C-alpha cells in the first residue's frame, strides 16, 4: 500500500517536472513583459536549444530582428536559426512579441492534393492536384504547374470523365514543356561557352 502511494506521488512530481513552459500568446505577451522586464520590449521568449531538454524560456534581453526565413533561439545567448521544416517567415522576424517563425506551412493533404515542393523557410509549401487520379484545381491556378495555398484556393476536385484526358494533360505537359525548354537552353549555353 505504502509503495503504491509513493509511486503515485512520484508520478505526480514527475508530471509537474515535465510541464513545458509555453511562451505567452499575443494577448498575454504584454502582461508578462510588464511583470518581468523594463523596458517591456526587452522581454524575450524563445526556444532554448542549449538545454538537453528542448524548452521555451523567457528572460530580459534586448529587442532584436533578423531577416526572412530565420528566427532567434537562446544558445545560450541570442543566436540566429532557420525556421523549422513546418514553419516559414516571409518578412523580418522580431523578438518583440514573437517566439517562432510566424506561419505554419500548409499541408497539401486535402482530397486529391499533393505536395509540389516544400520551398525554403521564407515561403509556404506549394500544392498540386493528383492529375493521374483525375483531380484538378477548383480555381484556375495562376501558375499551371502548382498552386500557392497562402494566396490561392488550392482545393482539388475529381474531374468529369470527358475532360479527364484534357485535364490530365494540361498541368503536366505545360510543366514538362517549360522544363524541356529550360534544359535545352542550359545545354546549349554549356555547349557554346565551355566545349
Cα–Cα dist 195/101, whole Å: 46
For residues 26 to 55, the per-residue mask of contacts with ligand NAG, x marking binding by CB under 6 A and - elsewhere, is -------------x--x-------------
Q: How far apart, in Å, are the Cα atoms of 43 and each of 2, 32, 166, 183?
A: 46, 8, 57, 51
With CB under 6 A as the contact rule, the residue among 164, 170, 172, 175 that binds ligand NAG is 164
Residue 130 touching ligand NAG (CB under 6 A): no
- The residue with its CB nearest to ligand NAG is 134
With CB under 6 A as the contact rule, the residue among 36, 96, 158, 175 that binds ligand NAG is 158
Residue 76 touching ligand NAG (CB under 6 A): no
Cα–Cα dist 24/54, whole Å: 17
Residue 60 touching ligand NAG (CB under 6 A): yes
Residue 62 touching ligand NAG (CB under 6 A): yes
Cα–Cα dist 108/149, whole Å: 8
Residues 6+ apart with CB under 8 A from 61: 42, 44, 78, 95
Contacts to ligand NAG by CB under 6 A: 39, 42, 60-62, 134, 140, 158-159, 161, 164
Amino acid at each position: 500500500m505504502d509503495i503504491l502511494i509513493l509511486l503515485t506521488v512520484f508520478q505526480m512530481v514527475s508530471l509537474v517536472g515535465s510541464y513545458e513552459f509555453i511562451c505567452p500568446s499575443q494577448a498575454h505577451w504584454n502582461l508578462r513583459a510588464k511583470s518581468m522586464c523594463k523596458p517591456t520590449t526587452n522581454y524575450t521568449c524563445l526556444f532554448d536549444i542549449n538545454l538537453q531538454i528542448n524548452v521555451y524560456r523567457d528572460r530580459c534581453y534586448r529587442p532584436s530582428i533578423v531577416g526572412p526565413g530565420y528566427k532567434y533561439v537562446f544558445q545560450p545567448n541570442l543566436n540566429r536559426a532557420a525556421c523549422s521544416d513546418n514553419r516559414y517567415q516571409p518578412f523580418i522576424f522580431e523578438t518583440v512579441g514573437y517566439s517562432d517563425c510566424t506561419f505554419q506551412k500548409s499541408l497539401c493533404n486535402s482530397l486529391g492534393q499533393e505536395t509540389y515542393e516544400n520551398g525554403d523557410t521564407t515561403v509556404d509549401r506549394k500544392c498540386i492536384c493528383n492529375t493521374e487520379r483525375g483531380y484538378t484545381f477548383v480555381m484556375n491556378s495562376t501558375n499551371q504547374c502548382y498552386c500557392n495555398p497562402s494566396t490561392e484556393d488550392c482545393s482539388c476536385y475529381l474531374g468529369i470523365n470527358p475532360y479527364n484526358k484534357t485535364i490530365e494533360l494540361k498541368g503536366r505537359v505545360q510543366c514538362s514543356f517549360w522544363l524541356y525548354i529550360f534544359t535545352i537552353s542550359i545545354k546549349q549555353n554549356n555547349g557554346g561557352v565551355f566545349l
